[in-house]
Structure 1
Amino acid sequence: MTTNVLMTVPTGPGVGLTSVSVGLVRALEQQGLKASFFKPIAQPHPGDEGPDRSTAMVAQGSSLRPVEPIPLHEAERYLYNDNIDELMEEVVGRFQASVDNDSTIIVEGLAQIPGHPYATRLNKAIARTLDAGLVLVTAPNDMRVQDLEHHVEIAAGSYGGIKAHDVIGCILNKTIPGSLGAKSYGDQFARRPIFKRNFALLGQIPVAEELTYPRVKDVAEFLRARIINAGEMDTRRIQSYTLCARGVENVLEALRPGVLVFTPGDRTDVIMATAIAALNDIKIAALVLTGGYEPSAALIALCGKAMAKGLPILSVESNSWDTAIKMQSFNQEIPLDDKERILNVKEHIARCIDHDWINSFALNHEERKLSPPAFRYRLIEQARALNKRIVLPEGEEVRTIQAASICAERGIARCTLLGKEEEIRRIAQNNGIELNHGVEILDPDSIRERYVAPMVEIRKHKGLTDIVARELLQDQVVLGTMMLEQNHVDGLVSGAVHTTANTIRPALQLIKTSPDSSLVSSVFFMCLPDQVLVYGDCAINPDPSAEQLAEIAIQSADSARAFGIAPRVAMISYSTGGSGSGNDVEKVREATRIAQSRRPDLLIDGPLQYDAAIMEKVAQQKAPNSKVAGKATVFIFPDLNTGNTTYKAVQRSADVISIGPMLQGIRKPVNDLSRGALVDDIVYTIAITAIQAGSIGA
């Protein structure tokens, strides 16, 4: 069946219906497809308040804003009065208000939970009413493969059976790694007879334990704990629990990264041991003092440095045993304000869905607007296919180490960390970071000498001597740059602790511009809610000439195309078309003419004001004949002052993620990070660098 309405229905309780549904939406967005989401009838969990969980999760990190579902009590009233037809009319009304006609629509059915015996009946009625293709969501739940096959076949029977034209297939969720691990279990299940006709296995989603880790603040709210020291309770996550009521020498092994430590509030020895572990950079999730005991002011003062390092300390009235027992009833559902965990769950599930099947729902072959999820997905997939080696000079910086670990785990790139191996492994262990064979660690002292002679040769025209070269190579950014210049790595990423100048200056001196470029410029990828835009130059050239501005425009257009963004280049000024005059406007006008003559294959227009470049209504008034105005994807600013100010204003006021600056026009890829970069920022910059390396080497 070919349909643009897909409805997820469960084969039983506890299959993770909501997570799979929102993950399907993200899978569509990753492929650049226009998606809509609709939850017909709410099913709030006990204690839920505020917006519906499914619609709120879909909206997180997306431009979609689905309508709220029909309240459950209203739906039940229709059922009790035997007015299911009227209920379906209400469903259709909300459906039409919630979705775009030219999108692929994910409809989440009702879950099978106690007290809702009508779930399957309503799901059948909704699917029939909306003419939806049905996707069964199932989970092994310790079943053998053949038992799971029978379970799915029986569940499908409620909707016409696996041979029915509107029963498309199933998604296997919550597979457990092990002897019948995620892949082997799914492979065995995929070979069962039920998949021999039109019914298909559409995805296999393994359990990812790290996606279940709650924040300390969630547990603090659950326990109604008093906050002695908040520390990093909003961001630290709990991987395990330990009850420390023994002698301190017997609890040291339990003091690991991510552990939540319960101990009686009068156990000064355990409190001190936990503080010492925190001082040694072991990221204990939190310390919970039980029994209502108040630590003395002297003890709090003694633990001050540990608390300053972010260690949360909580206090509860109940004793340790009762507190530990209470934790067994802790709700593992994702809080709706836990943006990071929601986005990670969506990305994890989206990666595990069959993307060939997802792409089969493309409505046409028109150019798609590249959304941030689609952009990030393409970055990772392109980088993964290239398998490039990227050097990270700031190898002893914790965010950089974690990013290298993620890149190795996901196959994004082979990262080389510069630093002392013992120190890097200590930092990794204390922060719960696993460094596998995909991460290389190089001691700068062991490799520095081999780069002295090549560096002297490159800079001999500047009178560089061996002694000065050795001194300069003490800087690990310079060392990493020489590794890149000598083709020992494919790209370099730095800036988590260094300034932009520290990162870029060695590249300009040692690597220099590519043969077809006369200058180095930069772009930022601005991840707006519904699309990704390219801004240049916002980091390098203070006041480019018309010739230079034209080259920046061409470089930026080529960069946009390399990363899947169809380039429509707007040359930004304070005037649109011929409405203004002055040296600044004339520079932009001349740059536009030069760029158009050099690259007639590109859509370039200017001068354009920012609003005329991005807003179709304004474009219709100010530049009605422009093929760029109102549709621009690449924005070229007349100088660094304008570009840097605009990118920061958009980034901060609209809460937009910006990736960059990415350098362009340089002979080999070197990229800078913000010193406030998050781990994900570093991962995506590594991916960008790998893709650039592949483009240069092509």
Structure 2
Amino acid sequence: MARSVYLTSVGHGGGKSTVALGLAELLSRQVERIGAFRPLTAGSGPDPILALLHDRYRIDLPYDDLHGVSYAEATALVADGRREELISRIVERYRAVERRCPAMVVVGSDFDDTADPGNPRELAFNARLATEFGSVVVPVIDGFGQDAETVAAAARGAYHDLADLGATVLAVVANRVPGPMTLPDLPVPAYAIEEVPTVSAPTVAEVAAALGATLLAGDEHALGRDVLDYVVGAAHVPTLLDHLTEGSLVITPGDRADLLVAASAAHVAGQVAVAGVVLTLGEQPDPRAMRLVAGLNTGFAVLSVTSDSYDTVAASSRIEGRPSAANPRKVEAALGAFESAVDTVDLARRLRVSRSERVTPLMFENDLIDRARAQRRHLVLPEGTDDRILRATEILLRRGVADLTLLGRPDDITRRTRELGIDISGAELVDPATSEWREEFADSYAALRAHRGINREYAHDVVAQPNYFGTLMVHTGRAHGMVSGANHTTAATIRPAFEIIRTVPGVSVASSVFFMLLADRVLVYGDCAVNPDPDAAQLADIAISSADTTARFGIEPRVAMLSYSTGNSGAGADVEKVAAATKLVRERRPDLLVEGPIQYDAAIDPTVAATKLPDSQVAGRATVFIFPDLNTGNNTYKAVQRSAGAVAVGPVMQGLRRPVNDLSRGATVADIVNTVAITAIQAAAVED
């Protein structure tokens, strides 16, 4: 069983960050904690790849423990003829990390094919370390600008060279290839990952830092734009407009207000999406021009540098972009590129890491993405102009989580994505007010609500509302599910679902759960968002629905029916309601592990459980917590969220014929991504 995978470059570069992320993502789906290690680092500041893995995968070890020695130390040891001492030092530090982590990702040294053969930065050195670590090896070939024949030859050579050196090769990866490419047949899988400009392009922030620039206009989102090209503005406006390209950073003297305004106008008009403007020579632009640019609301940054245009371009062209924890867009783009090219199921099988019995938050989130991608569904997002929805859409499309329809005026959505500097070109845009489906939806809604006195004219107005329109898309099969609520109330989101989609036969009440992602486990809370005061039968329905939802997402359901007393220790109407609900659950679903009435501490703490309910299979081990009423549930989930630093994913609706899920109005982009993935999985389960 491979507990460690070792990445090594074949030739300089190769984009190991993308492959390291992809492999770490695979391992994080199987074990509760991964480790990372770099045998050699530059020694001056944090290593970018190691820092990324440390932060993204929440490695609970000090960063300084995760690397061997510096290149300077390694070179000195080799020069003194102490190569074996170098190997021993690195292996000793690696073992100290490996002992504390179920699985490891090792990122080898930065290969330099012009180095002296005695230099440690060579393929043989990495192969030797991989053998000493007990790692399987993934060689990474830089395919940037290379033709298929050259890449194929490099792939063959990498495999045979490493095999001859005694390394166990897991797979061969050619990264940043210029287009679709088939690699040669080898004894191991070989994958070609296409170049994704978003991954390798520097951001405006990275360019600004490298140039020592001053920010004259723009915010953190403007600084996060990708710089795909550089355009020097020195001629007249028409010439500049002819040369502007998508994602270009315009570099022009600070006194050329005409070019600054022209670039801004072209961007706002939708002629081209500009990454930003750099004003050179330390010249400050005319204040009147800056006021005009501010009024245009371009959304991009304006920077000022003291160097001239030539030196600015020369310095900018040397800046290399890479994924970092501070730039989730770039990380998601890298993972999307990896997952679209690599057979992740087969590669995970070849790694053969034993899956942890405990489901950690990171494992849960990664499993959501993996399962949604495997059964890709079409979802509708009614809040198509919300910035968070747009940013989440870009991530979801890059990761292949779902096909998406966004509701809103297409011109408004397109303009906002241009201002944000994001790409959602894979999404369908639909305006409910002008859609060809509006008449059909009005007929459907009028028929469904005729018993409530809804006429056709009124229905025509109602279905133009995004949440009703989106729900009718689900009802008519044009979408498999819906996610809304980023700027709508819970009632506004789920009322159309209750009216149109309705509940599953045999379920008396629709309800909701929150997935509570704590530091070391995932718990399920229900119902914390929908039913104010369910009776015993409804509470039993909520418990059964919550247990089924929990099992569907890979967590063993052990159900605690919560009350202010445990067992027979208390009395009162509320306790009796929970006791009756528990009895109903046991009668209807004898396969479920359920305990109640039980207090929260006895449900979650094994020490308390040993005193209060020593023979219970649930007490102290509960994963599903069913609250007796909405007041208790809503306050408890928020208290745990804030005091324990838990991530609350939900509310996730259950009991409906088709999935419709609500977002908190304070939802983050990550919350939206998780909720969409959950909805896609629910949609697949409905069809199964």
By the TM > 0.5 criterion, same fold?
yes
Q: Does structure 1 conserve the Cα–Cα contact (< 8 Å) formed by 2:300 and 2:419? A: no
Q: Which residue of 1 aligns with 2:586?
A: 596
1:356 deviates by 1.7
2:120 to 118, 121, 126: 118
| Residue type of the alignment partner of 1:95 | Y
| Residue type of the alignment partner of 1:566 | E
Change (3 A) 1:143 1:388: closer
Distance 1:302 1:420 in 2: 26
Q: Does structure 2 conserve the Cα–Cα contact (< 8 Å) formed by 1:568 and 1:632? A: yes
Q: Which residue of 2 aligns with 1:62?
A: 57
Identity %: 36
Change (3 A) 1:93 1:451: same
Q: TM-score if structure 1 supplies the norm length?
A: 0.84
Q: Does structure 1 conserve the Cα–Cα contact (< 8 Å) formed by 2:256 and 2:285? A: no
Q: Does structure 2 conserve the Cα–Cα contact (< 8 Å) formed by 1:390 and 1:490? A: yes
1:328 to 317, 330, 348: 317
Q: Does structure 2 conserve the Cα–Cα contact (< 8 Å) formed by 1:243 and 1:320? A: yes
Give the paired residue count: 676
1:673 to 646, 663, 667: 663
SS in 2 for 1:317: coil
Change (3 A) 1:35 1:111: farther
Distance 2:607 2:59 in 1: 22
Distance 1:329 1:70 in 2: 28
Distance 1:402 1:412 in 2: 14
Matches within 5 A, 1:538-549: 538-549=528-539
SS in 1 for 2:515: strand
1:200 deviates by 0.5
Change (3 A) 1:585 1:398: same
Matches within 5 A, 1:197-596: 199-201=187-189, 203-232=191-220, 233-252=222-241, 258-276=247-265, 284-306=274-296, 310-334=299-323, 337-342=326-331, 344-346=333-335, 348-349=337-338, 352-354=341-343, 355-364=345-354, 368-372=357-361, 374-384=363-373, 386-397=375-386, 400=389, 412-425=401-414, 427=416, 439=428, 441=430, 444-445=433-434, 446-528=436-518, 531-573=521-563, 587-596=577-586
Q: Which residue of 1 aligns with 2:105?
A: 106
Tell me the alpha carbon deviations over residues 547-584 of structure 1, each in whole angstroms, 9 at most, x when there is no partner.
33332221111112223333233344566656666665
Q: Which residue of 1 aligns with 2:22?
A: 23
Distance 1:496 1:549 in 2: 28
* Unmatched tracts of structure 2, length 5 or more: none
SS in 1 for 2:492: helix
Q: Which residue of 1 aligns with 2:6?
A: 7
User: Is 1:605 equivalent to 2:595 in the alignment?
Assistant: yes
1:327 deviates by 0.7
SS in 2 for 1:695: helix
SS in 2 for 1:556: helix
Matches within 5 A, 1:53-202: 53-66=48-61, 67-72=65-70, 73-76=72-75, 78-80=77-79, 82-100=81-99, 103-113=102-112, 117-120=119-122, 122-140=125-143, 148=151, 151-152=154-155, 155=158, 159-161=162-164, 166-177=167-178, 181-182=179-180, 184=181, 187=182, 189-191=183-185, 195=186, 199-201=187-189
**611-620 or 269-278, which deviates more:** 611-620
1:599 deviates by 1.8
Change (3 A) 1:636 1:284: farther
| Residue type of the alignment partner of 1:173 | A
User: Is 1:661 equivalent to 2:651 in the alignment?
Assistant: yes
Q: Does structure 2 conserve the Cα–Cα contact (< 8 Å) formed by 1:484 and 1:490? A: yes
1:157 deviates by 5.9
1:123 deviates by 2.9
Change (3 A) 1:616 1:277: farther
Tell me the alpha carbon deviations over residues 428-466 of structure 1, each in whole angstroms, 9 at most, x when there is no partner.
566566666773636533332223333233222222223
Distance 1:638 1:245 in 2: 71
Q: Does structure 1 conserve the Cα–Cα contact (< 8 Å) formed by 2:332 and 2:395? A: no
Change (3 A) 1:404 1:112: closer
Distance 1:642 1:488 in 2: 38
RMSD: 3.7
Change (3 A) 1:315 1:568: same
Q: TM-score if structure 2 supplies the norm length?
A: 0.85
Change (3 A) 1:496 1:35: closer
SS in 1 for 2:307: coil
1:175 deviates by 3.9
Q: Does structure 2 conserve the Cα–Cα contact (< 8 Å) formed by 1:52 and 1:69? A: no
SS in 2 for 1:60: helix
Distance 1:190 1:429 in 2: 40
